Structure 1
Amino acid sequence: MSLAIDPFQYTLRQTVSCCGVGLHSGRTVNLAIKPAPVNSGIRFYRSDLPGDVFLNAHMDKVVGTQLATTLGNEQFRVSTTEHLLAAIQGFGIDNARIELDSDEVPIMDGSAEPFYKLLKTTGKSRQEALKTALRITRTVSYTEGDKHLSIEPYDGFKVTGEICFDDTLINKQKYTFDLLGGGFEEEIARARTFGYVEQVEELWANGLALGGSLANVIAIHWNRKSVLNEDGLRYDDEFIRHKVLDLVGDLALLGCPILGHVKAYKGGHAQHLGLMKAIAASPESWEVVEIKRNGAYAAIGEMAHKTRRAGQSILPFFTAPNIPSLSAA
């Protein structure tokens, strides 16, 4: 079967950089996204710390999901990774070196658009290595209270999000986006993070969201019928589009492209991680495939342990209990 997915890996043509503030710390952050070699994936580096230690953008490195997704290891942490990772995913970058001089990715305008536009300024470079993807063969589900997420077989990458709020402005919203169909910049990249104005004030009082302002957060009015932002909403359903954006960014932590349809009802960062862990714990529900030059795919299966690339690409899945590691060549 042929897939609508570019079989080759890509990195950036040249380094791009930006400066912004961290949403929660309020500190100025300098960030650079640089080209990286094949099979290296997405890696974070702290330019303000000694050494050249990196942090893989992998689900097994998630150390926090409160208000944002935070990655960490013994050396350092990086929080609010989801918008940047969504932009990288949406632009089609497989390998990149991300350097920043703080512990938080800058919030920019609260969406993925500034990062996506930054990537567009340099473009991407095709690398002479083929993609490895995770193809879902059976439905995998995760439930937490009234929150429910699942991923089912689909020869593409589609995300459907649904939210339900007890207010007039948001109420119930549902949105579906097919990542391989294009339109990332137009459909979800511009959707901003949001919150009730009293929640933002409470965060400020507790030393959080210190970099938050109407320039990077949609503040929902006390009356629940409007927003405080003078420019209003970018989409009538901007709230669910942002939730879908967050989901795309978090799922990038699986470490390789996904072939499946994700459905999320009332999902958040913690539930996104829950779904990824459920996938990792269900090896009978997926297979690792290599995308061929003609768009077809072939399962790697038991041969995965014979290639270093396959082991690195699917490393997150093999950190789950009782699943043998394939990371050794």
Structure 2
Amino acid sequence: MRVKLAIISFTTAIPVLLAGCGSGDEAAGTAAAGESSTINIGFLAPAPRNDGGFTQYALAGVQAAVDADPKLKLTSIVDNASESQEQIEGLQSLAAKNKVVVADGAVLNKAVAVVAPKYPDTHFVLIASDLEALADNVSSVTVAVGLNAMVAGAVASNESKSKKIGMIAGPEVPSSTAWYYGMAQGAKIENPQTQVAQAYTNDYNDVGKAKQAAEAMIANGVDQILSDLDSGSEGIYQAADGKAGTGVYNVFALHCDENKNIIGSGIVNWSDVLKTAVTEAAAGKLASGAISFGLKSGALSFQFCPGKGTDEQKALAEKITKDISDGTVTPGDGVLLPKPSYAFEQR
């Protein structure tokens, strides 16, 4: 059952230690008397904080920024805000009490666009998506996940016996479709005959929907599947267990101990990205507009699970990574998020 929307202030399993949210009489971002130098930070996500994936890693990055600077305080978390009205109300509650508000998820771009103009003194850090128009108090932070997907697609193509591979994601948002387009380009580099399927469950954590989507792919001959999901990945694991020779690939982090079929992962170090973004936002150094972290930033890499990956596949992954980094291979349409019309920084 989905948890009712609330601003929560207690120790969580991540672990994250939170102070009280403060009273409604406090100015945004200002702590109680005697602590006026404290910069309060709020965090909102559409998924559970302990989802084992995107949200948990992001929140760990925020906590790392707080741990590194005694002036920062993570005061409030809103998680499980899956509906648009919950997201708007949650952001408003956080913005009233915090100097920096992290909106952690591509689906939050519309809510941020609605709420940010009402709180000009609060700096919103939107993760994994851009706004349609520049907002002076919003920094949208993304990573070029499609570059990792190119490497994953090439490896999966090489591993595939059927030359049919697939990608399963939650909502069909640009940060997820980039995984598909990147896989498709990487697969074609490895073998022009490889076919790439895509499916969207509209939920990062629904195990049943993920299993159903994976079983449908496998029935159509797909034998390598990338999971752009959080706890919903379990459904793909279950489907892969039912069909010998099906390989699975994760995103964000290695989860090698979760299933024997996992080959590797397109690592996205969201924790470091969030730590950097929050630290800069709190110091007033995170520019408004769009910021993308790429290969050169060290935020991305493809890694194999121990004992997985042939020598040929490891050499292939290294070569494609190098070719992307030095410009020998140019990402195709859809691999990178569209550059917004306003200020953009590539790191």
TM-score, reference length from structure 1: 0.27
Report 1 or 2 for greater relative contact order, CA contacts < 8 Å, sequence distance ≥ 6.
Answer: 1
Structure with greater Cα Rg:
2
- What TM-score does the superposition give when structure 2 sets the normalisation length? 0.26
